[in-house]
Amino acid sequence: MPLNTAPNAPAALYDYPHYWAECYGTSEYLPMSRAEMDALGWDSCDIIIVTGDAYVDHPSFGMAVIGRVLEAQGFRVGIIAQPDWQSKDAFMALGEPNLFFGVAAGNMDSMINRYTADRKTRSDDAYTPGGMAGKRPDRASLVYSQRCKEAYPHVPIILGGIEASLRRIAHFDYWQEKVRRSILMDASADLLLYGNAERAVIEIAHRLSRGETVDSITDVRGTAFIRRDTPPESEGWLEIDSTRVDQPGKIDRIINPYLNTTDMDECEVEKRNQQWLEYEDPRIKRPGEQKLHFHPRARLDRNRTVIRLPSFEKVSKDKVLYAHANRVLHLETNPGNARALVQKHGSQDIWINPPPFPLSTPEMDYVFGLPYARLPHPAYKGERIPAYEMIRFSVNIMRGCFGGCTFCSITEHEGRIIQNRSQESILHEIEEMRDKVPGFTGVVSDLGGPTANMYRLACKDPKVEASCRKPSCVYPGICQNLNTDHAALKSLYRAARNLPGVKKVLIGSGLRYDLAVRDPEYVKELVTHHVGGYLKIAPEHTEDAPLSKMMKPGIGAYDEFKRLFEKYTKEAGKEQYLIPYFIAAHPGTSDEDMLNLALWLKKNGFRADQVQAFYPSPMASATTMYHTEKNPLHQVTYKSEKVQTAKSPEQRKLHKAFLRWHDPKNWPLLRKAIADMGRQELIGDGPNQLIPHYQKGEEDLVYEAHRRKNKGGEHQKRMGKPAHNASAKPATKATSGKPANKQQAGKKMLTQHTGLPPKPRTEASNKPKPAGKPKQRRT
C-alpha cells in the first residue's frame, strides 16, 4: 500500500461503519477489571488502553476521549490505569486484546510530571488519587509498552499521548542532558500517533479489524513508524535532502599585496584568471549543436514528497544540525501543506507522516457529546484526584493555539488551527454538568481551552491558511489575514450565564491580551461578568530580547490591556486585579534583563509568591535554543545568531531571585549580582532602588506568602511516608516583626499574593482568636 496518500476530504469520525461488537452497547464506565467485563457480557476486549493517569471519565482526560470514541465505533475498550510496572502481571489483568494495546504516559509527559524545572522530585502527582507521587515510572511510555510486549508478544502496540508526540524524532532530553533517539526506537511499539489522535486511531482500529497487519498501515496522517528503506521514485516519491546546512567553498590563500602577481608563474589565482581569458568556446567549432531550452521545475506534489532530516547520529553530535532539524520540523506542521519527514537512526528510518487534518465543528461536537460519566471511576471510592477537581466544573470549548510561543508544547501537539465546538454543544455540556455532577453550585469555573479567547478565530481566507508556513499568527504582530472578531465568544458568554441554574461563568484559561485589545467590547464583557476577583495573563517578560525568543508581544500590549481592564472594572464598580505570570531563565535572557524585570515589578507593585523557571520540554523551539544556543526561528547556519542561555544552576537561581526581589533570603545573592553589573545605585532604601543595604538582623526577616499551610501530614501522605510525630517540638520560627535595627522598625514584610494587594491588618485581626471548631475549606 502506498505511503501517505491522504485524501483531500477525510472521512468524518461518525461515517465509519460500526464494528460488530456495537451490539453490547455503551458502558457507564469503561471496564478496569474482569468482573466489570463479565457484567457487560464481554469475553474479551478489542482494545486495551494503558495510561499513567487515574481513569477519570471526562473529556479533559485523554484515555476517556480515545476510549469513548472507539466505543462509539463499536469496539470493546478496557482501561488499565497506573498499573504496577514491576512485572507483566498487571498488564494481563483484562486478558489479551483482540486488536491492539494503546499506550500513553498520561495527560503530561511523565518526566515533567515527576520532576521540577530544577530537576527535583515533585512531592505529589495531580493525576493520582490522593495526589500521591510515585504511581507511574519515569519514561512511562517506554516502560508500559515493554511490559505489554512481554505480556502478549504478538499483540500490536500503538503509542499516543503528549509524551509520544513530543518525542517522535530525535530530541534533546533535559533530564539526561543529551539527545535521545525517537521514542519509537526505544519502545516496543509498532506505531506512534501524535497530536489529537481521534481520526488516526479510528482508521487504524477499523483496518486492523478487517485483517490488515499493523506493519502495512503506513499511510495514515498523524502517525510515525519505523522502516528500513525509502520508497523508490518509481512509486512517485521524491526525497528532498535537508541533512546539511551551509558548506564553505574553496577559499584562496591571501596574496601578498606588495607583490606583482602578474609576473609570478606560481600564482594559481592569476593562472586561473588567464586561462579563463584565453578560453575558447568549443561550441564555435560544432555548428550542428542544438540550443537547450530550460523550463521551470514542475510544482512538486507535497503529498508524495518526503524531507530527509539530519540523522540521529549527526544531530546528537552537531548542535547546529539539531537546530536545523528542529526548524524544518516546525515548518512542516500545517496540515494544509506539510510534507512527510524521515530521519535515519542507524540502519533504520523513522518516517513521520504529515499532521492530521483538524476536526470540523460537527466532529468536535461528536467527540464531546459522547456519554462521559464526568466522574472518576468508582474503583477509587471517592478519593480526591487533584487534576479532576481543577476541571470538575469547567468546559472545554476549543482546541489548538496559533500563538506559537516557543516554550509551549500546545502547537506541537494540537496544532495551530483552532478546532471549535458549536455553541449548542457547549451549552448542552453545561446543562449536563449542572444536572449530573455532584457538588455543582451554579458556578462554571472555566469556559476556555489552551487559550481563553481564540474561539472561532481563524484565517480570513482558507486558501491562505492552507498554504501558510508562519510559526505564529500573532508574532511579531497580528497577521492581517487573521480574523480577530470576538463576536462568537461574546455570544457564548451571554448564553452560558443566562442558562437556568447557572449563577456565574468564570474564565480561568490564560488570556491572549494582544488579541483582546483588538476588541474592547470583548474586554468589557469579560471584565464586567466573568472575572472572579483576579484574571491571569502571561506577559512572561518585559524586555525585548527574551520576548523575541519567546515570540511574545512587547509589554506595551500588556499596558494597553491593563488600561482597558482597570477602566471597565471601575465602570462595573468592582475590585478586581490582574495576575501577570513571568518566566525566569528563558533562552535569550541576560542578568540585566532580569534586573530590569525586577525593577518593573517593584515599580508596578507586584510581589510574586511562586515563580516559574524555564522548563526545556522535548521538541519545543525554546528547548532547541537552550541546547544549541542557536535560534531556529530564523535560518540556521554555523555563523547564525547565538542565543544567550542561562544553564548553570547558579545563574538559574539568580534569575528566579530577581522575580522574588522582595524576599530577604534573596538579598545577598542579588546584592552581589547587582554590584557585578556595576549598578550599585540600585541598592538602598529609596523608591527607585531594588533592595536595601545589608543591615544587622535581616537574616531573621521572613516573607510570608498567601499560601495554604501544610496540615495533618498531607505532604508525607502524598509521598507515602509516615506523618511526623505531632508531639515533637516545633522548629523555632523566625520573625520579621522584631528587626535588630531601629531603622527597620515598622518595615515588616507584607503578606501578598501575586498581583494582589496585602490583606489589611487591623488591631482586631492581630488579636488571638478563641479556640473552636475549624472552618471547613470550601472546594
CA–CA separation, 389 and 438 (whole Å): 12
Give the integer Cα–Cα distance in Å for 106 and 388: 13
The Cα 190–Cα 430 span in angstroms is 39
Query: Strands 534-540 and 577-584, how do they pair?
Result: parallel
Cell of 507: 474564565
| 405 labelled ligand-binding | yes
Cβ proximity of 455 and 426 under 8 Å: no
C-alpha distances out from residue 689 to 13, 378, 658, 662, 692, Å? 61, 57, 13, 12, 8
> From residue 18, how far is each of 15, 97, 196, 210 by CA, in Å?
9, 18, 21, 12
Q: How far apart are CA 325 and CA 448, in angstroms?
A: 33
d(CA 110, CA 97): 25
Q: Got the DSSP string for 408-432?
A: -SHHHHH-SS-EE--HHHHHHHHHH
The span from the CA of 706 to the CA of 625, in Å, is: 35
**What is the rounded CA–CA span in Å between residue 151 and residue 85?**
12
Give residue 175's Cα distance to chain centre: 17
Look at residues 456, 448, 447 and name the one whose alpha carbon lies nearest to residue 497: 447
| 148 assigned binding-site residue | no
Q: Residue 101: which of 224, 218, 205 has the closest Cα?
A: 205
Q: Is 506 helix (H, G, I), strand (E, B) or coil?
A: coil
Tell me the C-alpha distance between 36 and 483, whole Å. 49
Q: Angle at the Cα of 679 (from 678 to 683), degrees rounded to 5?
A: 130
Burial class (CB in 10 A: 0-12, 13-18, 19+), 621: buried
Q: How many other C-beta atoms lie within 10 A of the C-beta of residue 452? A: 26
Gap between the Cα atoms of 257 and 267, Å rounded: 13
Q: Which of 407, 411, 420, 226 is nearest to 333 (CA)?
A: 411
**Any bridge partners for residue 505, and if so which?**
444
**Ordered alpha helix ranges (H), 573-698:** 591-603, 621-628, 649-659, 667-676
**Could you give the dihedral angle defined by the CA atoms of residues 326, 50, 151 and 86, in that order, rounded to the nearest 10 degrees?**
90
CB < 8 Å & 24+ apart, contacts of 132-137: 132/717, 132/718, 132/719, 132/720, 133/718, 133/719, 133/720, 134/719, 134/720, 135/52, 135/82, 136/52, 136/82, 136/85, 136/105, 136/106, 136/110, 137/85, 137/110
Report whether 408 belongs to an annotated binding site.
Answer: yes
Cβ pair 411, 355 in contact under 8 A: no
**DSSP result, 1-67:** --S----SSPPPGGGSPPPGGGGG---SS---SHHHHHHHT-SS-SEEEEESS--EESTTSHHHHHH
* Residues pairing with 448 in the sheet: 396
Q: Are 30 and 5 in contact (CB under 8 A)?
A: no
Annotated binding residues, as ranges? 401, 405, 408
Residues belonging to the binding site for [4Fe-4S] cluster are 401, 405, 408
